[in-house]
Structure 1
Amino acid sequence: MQYVVIIESGDNSFGAYVPDLPGCVAVAETRAEVLDLIAEAIEFHLEGLRETNKPVPLPWSTSEYVTVSLA
Protein backbone atom coordinates (compact mmCIF):
# COMPACT_ATOMS: atom_id res chain seq x y z
CA MET A 1 0.00 0.00 0.00
CA GLN A 2 1.04 3.59 -0.55
CA TYR A 3 -0.05 6.36 1.79
CA VAL A 4 0.21 10.09 1.12
CA VAL A 5 2.80 11.70 3.39
CA ILE A 6 2.72 15.42 4.05
CA ILE A 7 6.13 16.96 4.74
CA GLU A 8 6.45 20.35 6.37
CA SER A 9 9.71 22.22 6.78
CA GLY A 10 10.46 24.37 9.79
CA ASP A 11 13.37 26.63 10.60
CA ASN A 12 15.51 23.78 11.93
CA SER A 13 13.60 20.59 11.24
CA PHE A 14 11.13 18.68 9.09
CA GLY A 15 7.85 17.14 10.15
CA ALA A 16 5.79 14.51 8.38
CA TYR A 17 2.34 13.06 8.88
CA VAL A 18 -0.03 10.66 7.15
CA PRO A 19 -3.57 12.03 6.71
CA ASP A 20 -5.05 8.53 6.42
CA LEU A 21 -3.40 7.34 9.66
CA PRO A 22 -4.22 9.83 12.43
CA GLY A 23 -1.42 10.07 14.95
CA CYS A 24 1.22 8.73 12.57
CA VAL A 25 3.91 11.43 12.64
CA ALA A 26 7.67 11.91 12.51
CA VAL A 27 10.11 14.78 13.10
CA ALA A 28 13.76 14.99 12.06
CA GLU A 29 16.53 17.42 11.23
CA THR A 30 16.65 16.57 7.52
CA ARG A 31 14.11 15.74 4.81
CA ALA A 32 15.80 12.41 4.10
CA GLU A 33 15.72 11.46 7.76
CA VAL A 34 12.05 12.40 8.20
CA LEU A 35 11.14 10.26 5.17
CA ASP A 36 12.94 7.27 6.69
CA LEU A 37 11.30 7.85 10.05
CA ILE A 38 7.78 8.26 8.67
CA ALA A 39 8.16 5.01 6.71
CA GLU A 40 9.07 3.27 9.98
CA ALA A 41 6.19 5.03 11.75
CA ILE A 42 3.72 3.81 9.13
CA GLU A 43 4.90 0.22 9.53
CA PHE A 44 4.74 0.49 13.32
CA HIS A 45 1.28 2.08 13.20
CA LEU A 46 -0.13 -0.62 10.91
CA GLU A 47 1.46 -3.36 13.01
CA GLY A 48 -0.20 -1.93 16.12
CA LEU A 49 -3.58 -1.86 14.41
CA ARG A 50 -3.22 -5.48 13.33
CA GLU A 51 -2.09 -6.63 16.78
CA THR A 52 -5.14 -5.06 18.40
CA ASN A 53 -7.50 -6.41 15.73
CA LYS A 54 -8.41 -2.92 14.53
CA PRO A 55 -9.10 -2.30 10.85
CA VAL A 56 -6.24 -1.02 8.72
CA PRO A 57 -7.45 2.09 6.89
CA LEU A 58 -7.07 1.94 3.15
CA PRO A 59 -5.26 4.87 1.58
CA TRP A 60 -7.78 7.39 0.28
CA SER A 61 -5.92 10.70 0.26
CA THR A 62 -4.42 12.06 -2.93
CA SER A 63 -2.38 15.13 -3.67
CA GLU A 64 -2.26 17.64 -6.48
CA TYR A 65 -0.33 20.80 -7.12
CA VAL A 66 -2.37 23.76 -8.28
CA THR A 67 -0.73 26.67 -10.06
CA VAL A 68 -2.07 30.12 -9.19
CA SER A 69 -1.25 33.55 -10.50
CA LEU A 70 0.01 36.09 -8.00
CA ALA A 71 -0.80 39.03 -10.24
Structure 2
Amino acid sequence: MRQVIIYPGEDGYWVAQCPTLPGCISQGITKNEALHNIKEAISLYIETLSEDGHLIPEDNLELVRV
Protein backbone atom coordinates (compact mmCIF):
# COMPACT_ATOMS: atom_id res chain seq x y z
CA MET A 1 0.00 0.00 0.00
CA ARG A 2 1.24 3.47 -0.93
CA GLN A 3 -0.20 6.89 -0.33
CA VAL A 4 -1.07 8.80 -3.48
CA ILE A 5 -2.19 12.30 -4.30
CA ILE A 6 -4.96 12.70 -6.85
CA TYR A 7 -6.02 15.96 -8.41
CA PRO A 8 -7.66 17.30 -11.58
CA GLY A 9 -5.18 18.12 -14.32
CA GLU A 10 -5.39 21.09 -16.65
CA ASP A 11 -6.36 18.84 -19.58
CA GLY A 12 -9.48 17.46 -17.88
CA TYR A 13 -7.81 14.20 -16.83
CA TRP A 14 -7.25 13.15 -13.24
CA VAL A 15 -3.60 12.99 -12.18
CA ALA A 16 -2.39 10.47 -9.58
CA GLN A 17 1.06 10.75 -8.07
CA CYS A 18 2.98 8.70 -5.51
CA PRO A 19 5.27 11.18 -3.73
CA THR A 20 7.45 8.53 -2.08
CA LEU A 21 8.37 7.11 -5.48
CA PRO A 22 9.90 10.02 -7.42
CA GLY A 23 8.50 10.31 -10.93
CA CYS A 24 5.73 7.77 -10.33
CA ILE A 25 2.79 9.63 -11.89
CA SER A 26 -0.18 8.47 -13.91
CA GLN A 27 -3.53 9.79 -15.06
CA GLY A 28 -6.99 8.76 -16.15
CA ILE A 29 -10.21 10.15 -17.53
CA THR A 30 -11.95 9.38 -14.22
CA LYS A 31 -10.67 9.22 -10.64
CA ASN A 32 -11.14 5.46 -10.63
CA GLU A 33 -9.16 5.07 -13.84
CA ALA A 34 -6.36 7.27 -12.46
CA LEU A 35 -6.25 5.17 -9.27
CA HIS A 36 -6.18 1.95 -11.28
CA ASN A 37 -3.36 3.30 -13.43
CA ILE A 38 -1.26 4.54 -10.49
CA LYS A 39 -1.59 1.14 -8.77
CA GLU A 40 -0.14 -0.46 -11.89
CA ALA A 41 2.58 2.20 -12.12
CA ILE A 42 3.55 1.67 -8.45
CA SER A 43 3.74 -2.08 -8.95
CA LEU A 44 5.97 -1.75 -12.01
CA TYR A 45 8.12 0.91 -10.33
CA ILE A 46 8.78 -1.30 -7.30
CA GLU A 47 9.35 -4.36 -9.47
CA THR A 48 11.96 -2.48 -11.51
CA LEU A 49 13.73 -1.19 -8.40
CA SER A 50 13.85 -4.71 -7.01
CA GLU A 51 15.12 -6.25 -10.27
CA ASP A 52 17.85 -3.61 -10.48
CA GLY A 53 18.94 -4.24 -6.89
CA HIS A 54 17.87 -0.83 -5.57
CA LEU A 55 16.30 -0.21 -2.18
CA ILE A 56 12.56 0.38 -2.17
CA PRO A 57 11.74 3.69 -0.44
CA GLU A 58 9.52 3.51 2.60
CA ASP A 59 6.08 5.03 2.42
CA ASN A 60 6.53 7.33 5.39
CA LEU A 61 4.70 10.34 4.02
CA GLU A 62 2.73 12.45 6.45
CA LEU A 63 0.07 14.70 5.00
CA VAL A 64 -0.84 17.78 6.98
CA ARG A 65 -3.57 20.18 6.02
CA VAL A 66 -2.73 23.82 6.72
TM norm. shorter chain > 0.5: yes
Q: How does 1:12-23 map to 2 (within 5 A)?
A: 12-23=12-23
Q: How many residues align?
A: 65
Q: How does 1:35-46 map to 2 (within 5 A)?
A: 35-46=35-46
Identity within the alignment, % = 34
Q: How does 1:1-71 map to 2 (within 5 A)?
A: 2-10=1-9, 12-66=12-66
Once the 2 structures are TM-superposed, how far is the Cα of residue 5 of structure 1 from its aligned partner?
A: 0.1
**Secondary structure, aligned partner of 1:45:** helix
TM-score between both structures, scaled by the size of structure 2: 0.88
Which of 1 and 2 has greater Rg? 1
Bigger relative contact order (CA 8 A; separation at least 6): 1
Residue pair 1:5, 1:19 contacting (<8 A) in 2 also: yes
Cα distance in structure 2, aligned partners of 1:39 and 1:18: 9
Give the gaps of 5 or more residues in structure 2. Answer: none
TM-score between both structures, scaled by the size of structure 1: 0.83
Residue pair 1:4, 1:62 contacting (<8 A) in 2 also: no
- Report Cα offsets for 1:2-38 as digits up to 9, x if no partner: 2110001135110011110001110111100000000
